[in-house]
Amino acid sequence: MNLDEENRVNNLRKILLGDSIRDTFPIFAKYGQKRLCFLDSAASTQKPKCVIDRLTDFYSNEYSNILRGAYELSANATIRYEEARSRISNFIGSKSSDSIVFTRGTTESINLVSYALEDYFNEGDVILLTIAEHHSNIVPWQFLAKRKNLKLVYAKINNNYNLDIEDFYNKVKEFKPRLIAATMCSNVLGSVFPVKDIISGAKSVNALVLLDGAQYVAHNKVNVNKLDVDFLCFSGHKMYGPTGIGVLYAKRELLEMMKPFQGGGEMISEVTLDDTTFADIPYKFEAGTPAIAEVIALGEAVNFINQVGIENIYEHEKSVFEYAISRLSSISYVDMYSSKSSNDSGSVISFNIDGVHPHDFASIADNFGVQIRSGFHCAMPLLNYLKVNATNRISLGMYSDKQDIDMLIDAILESRKIFKVN
Ligand SMILES: Cc1ncc(COP(=O)(O)O)c(C=O)c1O
């Protein structure tokens, strides 16, 4: 790092603790004095200028398809694409960038595994999930279970809105699953699941483990190598990168064993009229022209997170989370569906307001400039389990601060007045 770069990085780290990190996200400037209170980063984060610039710059000055051109533009674009792969590989502590497969997002990563791993399962095998999974970590397994006649079993959550580890271990022992797929952080409850326990439970019965890192990787450090996890799935758009790009990390030997997900250009070694042999990993899983600019811009997003420092982001969001919990707890008619301890929570809080339906609250909040999510958050089985039809959900990013929470609380107080609830 040269001196200029070092100063820029130090500056970014410092400003994270103040208001000015928002200045690196153009959307906040656009709103000017009328503050944009964006509390829906779990759905998708806002984008920093460097990511937007990287996309524009690539299309304006460097664009070409990759892998297939003998000419300079294509060779350079290929280098940038592969640089992004190794940056992402380093970011999650992977030993080799061959373990990084680009997909469209967490959903496609999980679908890829559920299809490409099909031959590993025998009729009657069990897949253990948790009741708190996003639909994208349920539906692909249901498809697979129907195709191969497998059984899906779900571990419960406890009164603290985290994984019921006793129930989990009992189910591991009883059903001896061949695969366990669990979220690292619930997109509804905000609970950070005990990932090390999940992995050691899986190892005790020789099961493979897939972690859904969609709500985790932009908030906390991950090291797939230290965790010794088999699969990790995450989405670029939830970590300050573009939409349409995601990542599947898998151990090399698993990728080598798995069958291809889609057929087409670039995933082949040789094609005859009757048969095909496949390219080496990870290309075997990247059929067709990939999302080149998005991959490169995701690499930029990872660079940005590294510069701000994932530890700084974690500490900052933790302090905003604690503030939100203390303010929401002080309102007697707010019920929370989240652990009140920042030690086992991420950056998401679900709550309901007695007398105000979540959909009504979300639109009232919007009138106050507060943007939150309401509904079932793509987690119907969890909401059924909690016996609620919908919740309000706030979720934080590195740009969220206490002022956002104050605006939320004002909107909650006003909503009760509008609905004339005492
Ligand atoms: C926990 C979790 N898993 C998976 C997904 C799916 O991510 P994507 O829509 O980017 O594929 C989400 C999206 O909200 C999520 O929160």
pLDDT tens readout for residues 211-257: 999 999 999 999 999 999 999 999 999 999 999 999 999 999 999 99
Q: In this structure, are 62 and 144 located in the same domain?
A: yes
Q: In this structure, are 255 and 243 located in the same domain?
A: yes
Q: pTM, whole model, 2 decimals?
A: 0.95
**CA 134 to centroid of ligand 1, rounded, Å:** 7
The CA distance from 324 to 404, in Å, is 9
Q: What is the pLDDT of residue 41?
A: 98
Question: Shortest CA distance to 365 belongs to which of 405, 337, 330, 326?
Answer: 405
What average pLDDT score do residues 275-299 get? 97
Instruction: Give yes or no: 378 in active site.
Output: yes
Select from 277, 306, 335 the last residue of a domain.
306
Q: What are phi and psi of 318, to 5 degrees?
A: -60, -40
| Sheet of 208-212, strands arranged across | 100-103, 246-250, 231-235, 208-212, 179-183, 126-130, 151-155
Which distant-in-sequence residues (6+ apart) come within 8 Å of 79 by Cβ? Answer: none
pLDDT in tens, 66-75: 987 789 999 9
Select from 248, 272, 306 the last residue of a domain.
306
Q: What is the pLDDT of residue 125?
A: 98
Average pLDDT value over all residues in the chain: 95
Q: Is there a contact between 294 and 241 (Cβ–Cβ < 8 Å)? A: yes
What residue's CA is closest to ligand 1, atom 15?
214
Which distant-in-sequence residues (6+ apart) come within 8 Å of 264 by Cβ? Answer: 287, 288
Q: What is the pLDDT of residue 343?
A: 83
In this structure, the number of other CB atoms found within 10 A of the CB of residue 287 comes to 18
- For the chain, the domain total comes to 2
Q: In this structure, are 211 and 90 located in the same domain?
A: yes
- CATH code at position 211: 3.40.640.10
Question: Shortest CA distance to 32 belongs to which of 367, 371, 369, 313?
Answer: 369
- Ligand 1, pocket residues at CB < 6 Å: 42, 105-107, 134, 136-137, 183, 187, 212, 214-215, 235
Q: Is there a contact between 346 and 219 (Cβ–Cβ < 8 Å)? A: yes
Q: Report helix angle 3-16 to 310-329, nearest 10.
A: 10
* 354 domain-assigned: yes
Q: How far apart are the first and last CA of the chain?
A: 59
Domain that holds residue 135: 57-306
Q: In this structure, are 337 and 234 located in the same domain?
A: no
Q: What is the pLDDT of residue 389?
A: 95
Is 5 a residue whose pLDDT tops 80?
no
What average pLDDT score do residues 116-126 get? 98
Q: In this structure, are 236 and 348 located in the same domain?
A: no
pLDDT in tens, 12-43: 666 665 558 999 999 998 887 789 999 999 99
Write down the residue that tokens 């940005």 correspond to.
304
Is 165 a residue whose pLDDT tops 70?
yes
Q: Is there a contact between 46 and 398 (Cβ–Cβ < 8 Å)? A: no
pLDDT in tens, 318-352: 999 999 999 999 999 999 999 888 888 889 999 99
Q: State which of 192, 240, 245, 378 you would mutate to test the pocket of ligand 1, scoring each by most atoms of that ligand within 8 A of its C-beta.
A: 378
Q: What is the pLDDT of residue 19?
A: 59
What average pLDDT score do residues 271-286 get? 97
**CA 377 to centroid of ligand 1, rounded, Å:** 10
